[in-house]
Structure 1
Amino acid sequence: MSEALKTLQKYWKYDSFRDPQDMIIQSVLDGKDTFALLPTGGGKSICFQVPGIMLPGICLVISPLVALMKDQVQNLQKRNIKAIALTGGISSDEIIDLLDNCQFGNYKFLYVSPERLQSDWIIERIKGLPINLIAIDEAHCVSQWGHDFRPAYLKIATLKSFFPKVPFLALTASATERVQEDICKELLLDNPVLFKKSFARENIAYMVFEAEDKLHRITQMLTKNPGPSIIYVRNRKSCHDIAAQLTSLGFRTAFYHGGLSTKDKERQMQLWMEESAQVIIATNAFGMGIDKPNVKTVIHVQLPENLENYYQEAGRAGRNGEKAFAVTLIAPSDIGTTKNQFIEVLPDKTFLKEVYIKLNNYFQIAYGEGFNDSFSFNLNHFCLHYKFPVLKTFNALQFLDRQGVITLSATFSEKVTIQFLLPSKEIIRYISLNSADEAVIVAVLRNYPGVYDMETPINSSLIARKAGTSEDTVFQILKRLHEKEIISFNSQANDSQLTFNEVREDSLTINRLSKFLEKQNDLKIAQFEAVVAYMTDKKLCKSRFILNYFGEQNTTDCGSCSVCITRKKAPSDPVATAKEIVALLKNSPLTSREIENRLNLTPEETIFAIQLLLEYNSITLNTKNQYLLK
C-alpha cells in the first residue's frame, strides 16, 4: 500500500488511512468488486479517489446528489486533479464537449447522476472512455428497501456488460442487512469483497430527554458543554427563531438552510467552522461534506424522519474521538405533530398525478416535450397558484426527483426587474444631488440600455461588480429609487432550480411510478415507527437500539446513553424530594424550573414531587406560575 499512501500524502496531506480505507483501496487495485459500508465520517470518497488517481484512465463516479458532485469536483480541482460532473440542466452540446474533454484531456474523474446513464448516446460515449473503476456512491439507492430508492440505480448493472474487467465499488453510509444484500444483488457484484465498519460510536452518548421548555434545556447543554455544536430543526422558520432566541441569550450563533444564497451559506458556515459562532442552527440541508472533528454536541429539537438520517446527523459529533453528545429533545405532542408532518402528507397516486400535470402546465410544457428544460422554481408560489398543501406537494416533487423524472436542486436566486420612470435629464439631476448612488445607476444604464423602455431583468451581482460595491448596497439603492418613484422595482425569490429529465407523458409516467410510490410510503411509515420506538423505549440502551436496527447483534450496553445513566442512577425518593421542596418554599414562592435548579433535580423528579404535593393539597400555584405553601 506504499504507493496508495504516497498518493494520499501528496494530494490530501494525510499521514495515514482510516480503518478500513487501505484494505478497500487494495481490493479495488486488485481488480475485485467491492462493497463498503462506512458509517458517516468514514471517508468514503478517499476509497475511490485514491485508486482512481493511481490507475491509468478515468474513474466513473455515479452519485445522486448534484451538490455533492459539485463539491467533490471542486475539491479535486483545488488539488490539481482533473474532474468533470455531468449535472442536470447542461445542454447536449455542453455534454458532448465535456465528454470530449474526458476522452482527450487526461481527466481522472467523471461524475454522473444515475439518470444520465439512461440516455443511450451518453452510454455510447462512456463506453469509448478508458474507465478504470466504477464507483457507486449512496449505493443504498439501488434497493427498494433503502430509505432513498431511485429506480435509475437499477440500470447501473448494465455497465457490467460494457466493462466486464473493471472493478465496481459500491459505497454507502447507512444500510440494513436486507439493503446490503439487495445492493450486491442488484448491482451484479461478482463475488464482492465486503467491508463493513461497525455503526458503534463509543465516544458518542445518545440522549433522549423529555422537555416542555426545549430552549431552556438547550441553553443548559450549550453552557455545560461550550464546544462547537449543531442544532437540527425541520424548517427555515425554526432555524431563524432559535438562532434569534439563543443570540438574545448571549450565545454566538450561525444558521443554515436551503433558502440561503450560496454566499450567505458560505458566510454562515465559515462563522461556525472558524468558531466565531459556537452553535449552528440548521435544517437537514446542512451536513454534506462537513468534517469538523471537534463537534461536541448535536441536538435534534424535532423528531427525525428516519433512523438512517438521524444516525448520519448525530454522527457529526465527536469525530476527533473525544466524548460527545447526540441529544434529542421530545415534548409530549411531538409524536402526533411529526406523524402529521411525515405520514399524513405522503402523496398517493392521484395527488402525484395532479401535481405532475400542474407542474407541466405551470411551465407551459406541451405533451411529449420538456426534456432537459430548466426553470427557476418557487415552491410556495406554485402551491399558492394551485391551492396545493405545501408539505404534501414537496413530498410529491421529492418523489419525482428521486425517480429521476425531475431534478430539484436548492439553488437560491432572486429575479430582479427594473424600469426607469423619469427621463434621462432627471436621472442626471438626481445623480448630481446623490453622488453615493451614482456608480450603481451608471452601471445599470451602461449594461441595460433598454431600461427606460420596459421592465428589464438585471443581474444584481454583475451590477455590484461593475459598481465596485456589494449586492446588499445595490438592493438598498434600487429600493430607495423605487420609494422615490424614480424606478419601478420588482424582486421575486426563487428557492430552487427545476429540470425536467423526461418528456411529458402524464398517465404513462405516473402509472410507471405508482408501484414504487406504494412501497416507499409503506417504508416511510415503518421507518417512522422505528423512530418513535427509539425515542420512547426507556429500557433498551440507545446505542444498542441503533446497532440492532442496522443489523448488529450481540451488542453490549454503552453505559453512557440516557437509558444507561438512568439505570445506574439510584432512584430518588419522591417523599424526601417533596419535603425538600416544602422547606424551600418556606422562604419564597418558586417556579418549577427554580426548584429543579436549586435542588439539582431532573425535570421528571421535580414534576413527580410537585404533583404529589398538589394531590395532598400542600402547595398551590399563583398567577406568576410560582408554587407556594398553602
Structure 2
Amino acid sequence: MVQAEEILKKYWGYNEFRTPQKEIITAVLSGKDSFGLMPTGGGKSICFQVPGLMKEGICLVVSPLIALMKDQVENLSKRDIKALALTGGISSDETITLLDNCLYGNYKFLYLSPERLEQDWVLEKIKNLPLNLIAIDEAHCVSQWGHDFRPSYLKISQLKRFFPAVPFLALTASATERVKKDIIEQLKLDNPTVFQKSFARENIAYMVIETEDKLHKMEQMLKKNSESSIIYVRNRKACFDVSNQLQQLGFKTTYYHGGLSLKEKTKNMGLWMTEKVQVMVATNAFGMGIDKANVKTIIHIQLPENIENYYQEAGRAGRNGEKSYAVLLIGPADVVAAKSQFILGLPDKDFLKTVYIKLCNYFQIAYGEGINEQFSFNLNHFCSHYSFPVIKTYATLQFLDRQGVISFTQEYSEKINLQFCIESKEVIRYISLNPSEEEIILAFLRTYPGIYEYQTAVNLSLIARKSNSSEEQVESVLNRLKEKGIVDYISKNNDAIITFNEVREDEHTINRVSKYLEKQNDLNKEQIEEVIQYVTNHEICKSRFILNYFGEKNTSNCGICSYCISKKEKSINTIQLNELILNLIAEKPISSRELVKITDCKEQELIFALQELLDEEKIIILPNNKYTKA
C-alpha cells in the first residue's frame, strides 16, 4: 500500500505530518472509529483526505458549512483529485446524476450536508456507494451542548447500520468535555480512539484591554506591530467604517464581510494575503480556510458570542510559531451591550413562528408547498417590511437554518432585470453604428428571446462568457444603452440566499423544532456569561481561563497575557495618582487620553483611578468625555 507520507508529499507538498495527524490516519487505516479534537489550524482535513486516497472506494464527508465544502472540493480538484459536493439548492434530478457519477465516475470524496441524510432517496443512493471512510466535520454540531447544534446531525449515526465495517472519524476544533462525551454517544462511535491536542498556544499573548478610545488603542498596537493583522467587528457597516478610519490614520487596510461580491472578496483577500495591506477588517465570515502563517495581531473590538468562536478567531494569529497577540478591547458599556444583543435578542417560540409564517408569505409559498424553492433575500428589507428587529430576526433565521427548515446562505448576489425599449430594427441600426458592442447585445438577444416584451432576469457572467467579454464590459454597454433609452434595467442587491428544505407546515414545523429552542437559548446565555467572565475576571491568567473552559486542568500561568503582565509590573501608588489627577483637572477639564500622556502611567491604572474618583463623587465626566472636579 502507498505510504501516507508519499500521499502527503505528492498532493500537498509536505514532508511530514503534524501531531496528531499521523496517529489519527493510522487508527482510521486500521478500521477503528476515531475522535479528533484539533484546535484551529491543526489540519483536520488531512486526517480524512489522506486515508480516503489510500483506501479503495469513496470517503463520505458530512459538513454543515457550504462554503467550506465548496472550498475543499475546489482545492482537491486543483490537485487532480475527484471530489463533489451536494450542497443546498441542487435539484433532485441533478442530485441523482451527481450520485450516479459518484458510483461510476471514480470519485474519491463526496461532501454533503447532514440535511441530505434526512432525505430517504438520497440515503438509498448512498447505501450503494463503496464507502471507505465516513468523516464528520464540525462534529460539535451533533451535541445539544455544542455552540452550533443541528438536529440533522443526529441522523448520521444511522449510517452505522448500513456500513458497520466502515470507520467513523469525528473531527472538531472546539469542544468542552461535556460536548466531547456527547459527540461520542450521539454518533454511536464504537470504542473510539480519542486524539486530543492541547488547546494551549504558548506563543499567543491573550490580552484584555479596557479602553474608552478603541481607535486610539488600535493605532498604538498596529504601529508597534506592523505585521499582518485582523480586526474582527460585529457587522458589515463597522467593516467599512473601521477600515476607513484606519486608512485616515495612515494604515493600509481592506475589509471582508458576507455582503461583498465574490470578485470583491477575492480582490480584498488577495491584497491582504500578498502583504499589499497590513490590516484586514472583517466580520466572522472571514477566516474559514485562511492559512496565513505570519498574522501578528488579532483584535476584537466587541465581545464575541462564545469562547469557542473567540478561540478559533484568536488562533489565526502566530501560526508561524512566533510571538503574537490576541487582543480584546473592551469599553465601559460593552458588557451591557453584549447582554442586550445576545440575550435580549434571543427569539422565543411565538417570535419564531411569526417570522417563519411571514417568511413563507413574503415569498408567496402556499401551505404544503415550497420544498427546494430558492430565493434571493435582503434581511433589512424583510425586517423593514414587517417591522421586525433585525438582530432578533437574524438569530431566528440562523436557528431555522440549523434545524434544517431553511438554508440561510449569506452570499452577496446581484439580480438584474432587463428589457429592450425600442423595436428590433432600431436595435440593429444601433449595432451597425456601434460594432464594438455587437457581440454583447446579440448575446442578450439570443439568450433571452422575450427581452423585448417584458423585464427579464439576466445573468451578466453568462453574457460575458458568451460574448468573450468581461462583466465590467457588459455593465459598461448596459449603462450606455440605458443612457440612450434603448434598454431599461433594474439592479437589485441581495445579501443572502434562502432555500426552503421542506414543505410549509406552520404549526407542525414550529412545534417540531421549538423543543430545541429553549435549550439553545439557555446555552447561549451560559456562553455569553463565560465571555463576560473572561473579560471581567482579574484573578486568573487569560490563557489558563481558556484552557480551563475546554477542560484542561492543572495548567500554569502563561506569563505573557494581560493578567500575567499586570502582576509583573510594579503599580504606581494609587493615592498619589488620584491626587495628581485632582490637581490636573482643577486647572481645566482633561480627557483620559491626555491624562495618560501627562501622568505617564498605564491606561489600566488610570481607568481604575478615574473609576474610583467617580465612585467617590470627587470628579464628574462632561458631555465631551473630559473629566473635571465635582
Give the aligned residue type for 1:267.
Answer: K
Contact 1:87 1:112 in 2 (8 A): yes
Deviation at 1:601, TM superposition (A): 2.5
- Residue 574 and residue 479 in structure 1: after superposition, are their counterparts in 2 closer, same or farther (change >3 A)? farther
Contact 1:479 1:489 in 2 (8 A): no
Deviation at 1:489, TM superposition (A): 2.5
2:368 aligned residue: 368
SS at match of 1:182: helix
Whole-angstrom distance in 2 between the partners of 1:302 and 1:585: 31
Matches within 5 A, 1:173-188: 173-188=173-188
Whole-angstrom distance in 2 between the partners of 1:286 and 1:408: 17
Contact 1:228 1:295 in 2 (8 A): yes
- Residue 8 and residue 582 in structure 1: after superposition, are their counterparts in 2 closer, same or farther (change >3 A)? same
Matches within 5 A, 1:511-530: 511-530=511-530
Whole-angstrom distance in 1 between the partners of 2:309 and 2:611: 38
Contact 2:273 2:292 in 1 (8 A): yes
1:554 aligned residue: 554
Is 1:131 the counterpart of 2:157? The answer is no
1:160 aligned residue: 160
Whole-angstrom distance in 2 between the partners of 1:253 and 1:139: 35
- Residue 151 and residue 49 in structure 1: after superposition, are their counterparts in 2 closer, same or farther (change >3 A)? same
1:221 aligned residue: 221
Tell me the alpha carbon deviations over residues 379-432 of structure 1, each in whole angstroms, 9 at most, x when there is no partner: 222222222222111111111110111111122111111333345676678778
Contact 2:572 2:601 in 1 (8 A): no
1:191 aligned residue: 191
- Residue 584 and residue 435 in structure 1: after superposition, are their counterparts in 2 closer, same or farther (change >3 A)? farther
Is 1:380 the counterpart of 2:380? The answer is yes
Whole-angstrom distance in 2 between the partners of 1:85 and 1:346: 33
Tell me the alpha carbon deviations over residues 314-341 of structure 1, each in whole angstroms, 9 at most, x when there is no partner: 0000111110100001111111112221
Give the aligned residue type for 1:225.
Answer: N
- Residue 443 and residue 584 in structure 1: after superposition, are their counterparts in 2 closer, same or farther (change >3 A)? farther
Contact 2:243 2:253 in 1 (8 A): yes
SS at match of 2:206: strand
Whole-angstrom distance in 2 between the partners of 1:310 and 1:616: 36
Comparing 489-498 and 594-603, the one that deviates more: 594-603
Give the aligned residue type for 1:106.
Answer: N
Give the aligned residue type for 2:133.
Answer: L
Deviation at 1:610, TM superposition (A): 6.9
Give the aligned residue type for 2:47.
Answer: C
Comparing 467-476 and 199-208, the one that deviates more: 467-476
1:421 aligned residue: 421
Matches within 5 A, 1:205-244: 205-244=205-244
2:47 aligned residue: 47
1:543 aligned residue: 543
Whole-angstrom distance in 2 between the partners of 1:234 and 1:300: 9
Deviation at 1:171, TM superposition (A): 0.5
Whole-angstrom distance in 2 between the partners of 1:519 and 1:44: 29
Deviation at 1:514, TM superposition (A): 1.3
SS at match of 1:325: strand
Comparing 198-207 and 485-494, the one that deviates more: 485-494
Tell me the alpha carbon deviations over residues 202-247 of structure 1, each in whole angstroms, 9 at most, x when there is no partner: 1000001111111111111110001100000010000000011111
Tell me the alpha carbon deviations over residues 485-510 of structure 1, each in whole angstroms, 9 at most, x when there is no partner: 55322111121111111111111111
- Residue 341 and residue 591 in structure 1: after superposition, are their counterparts in 2 closer, same or farther (change >3 A)? closer
Tell me the alpha carbon deviations over residues 268-306 of structure 1, each in whole angstroms, 9 at most, x when there is no partner: 111111111101000011111111111100000011001
Matches within 5 A, 1:346-361: 346-361=346-361
Deviation at 1:123, TM superposition (A): 1.2
Tell me the alpha carbon deviations over residues 346-398 of structure 1, each in whole angstroms, 9 at most, x when there is no partner: 11111111111122222222222222222222222222222222211111111
SS at match of 1:350: helix
Whole-angstrom distance in 1 between the partners of 2:390 and 2:167: 44
Give the aligned residue type for 2:260.
Answer: L
Contact 1:621 1:628 in 2 (8 A): yes
SS at match of 2:231: strand
1:270 aligned residue: 270
Contact 1:255 1:281 in 2 (8 A): yes
Matches within 5 A, 1:400-479: 400-423=400-423, 441=441, 443-445=443-445, 447-448=447-448, 450-465=450-465, 470-472=470-472, 474-475=474-475, 478-479=478-479
Whole-angstrom distance in 2 between the partners of 1:449 and 1:228: 51
Deviation at 1:477, TM superposition (A): 5.1
TM-score in terms of structure 1 length: 0.93
2:172 aligned residue: 172
Comparing 111-120 and 590-599, the one that deviates more: 590-599
Give the aligned residue type for 2:332.
Answer: P
Percent of paired sites with the same residue? 64
Deviation at 1:119, TM superposition (A): 1.3
Whole-angstrom distance in 2 between the partners of 1:619 and 1:387: 43
Contact 2:60 2:111 in 1 (8 A): yes
**Gaps in structure 1 of 5+ consecutive residues:** none
TM-score in terms of structure 2 length: 0.93
Give the aligned residue type for 1:30.
Answer: S
Tell me the alpha carbon deviations over residues 453-494 of structure 1, each in whole angstroms, 9 at most, x when there is no partner: 322222222344456654345445544654565532211112
Whole-angstrom distance in 1 between the partners of 2:222 and 2:454: 54
Matches within 5 A, 1:237-316: 237-316=237-316
Give the aligned residue type for 1:103.
Answer: L
Whole-angstrom distance in 1 between the partners of 2:188 and 2:611: 62
Deviation at 1:448, TM superposition (A): 4.2
**Gaps in structure 2 of 5+ consecutive residues:** none
SS at match of 2:516: helix
Deviation at 1:449, TM superposition (A): 5.0
Contact 2:48 2:135 in 1 (8 A): yes
Tell me the alpha carbon deviations over residues 511-565 of structure 1, each in whole angstroms, 9 at most, x when there is no partner: 1111101100010001010011101111111001111111111111111111111
2:23 aligned residue: 23
Is 1:82 the counterpart of 2:82? The answer is yes
Comparing 613-622 and 79-88, the one that deviates more: 613-622
2:397 aligned residue: 397
- Residue 250 and residue 476 in structure 1: after superposition, are their counterparts in 2 closer, same or farther (change >3 A)? farther
SS at match of 2:75: helix
Deviation at 1:152, TM superposition (A): 0.8
Whole-angstrom distance in 1 between the partners of 2:242 and 2:527: 27
SS at match of 1:264: helix
Give the aligned residue type for 1:279.
Answer: V
RMSD (CA atoms): 3.0
SS at match of 2:254: strand
Whole-angstrom distance in 2 between the partners of 1:616 and 1:143: 48
Comparing 419-428 and 540-549, the one that deviates more: 419-428
Contact 2:174 2:308 in 1 (8 A): yes
- Residue 533 and residue 15 in structure 1: after superposition, are their counterparts in 2 closer, same or farther (change >3 A)? same
Contact 1:255 1:280 in 2 (8 A): yes
2:333 aligned residue: 333
Give the aligned residue type for 1:125.
Answer: K
Comparing 578-587 and 362-371, the one that deviates more: 578-587
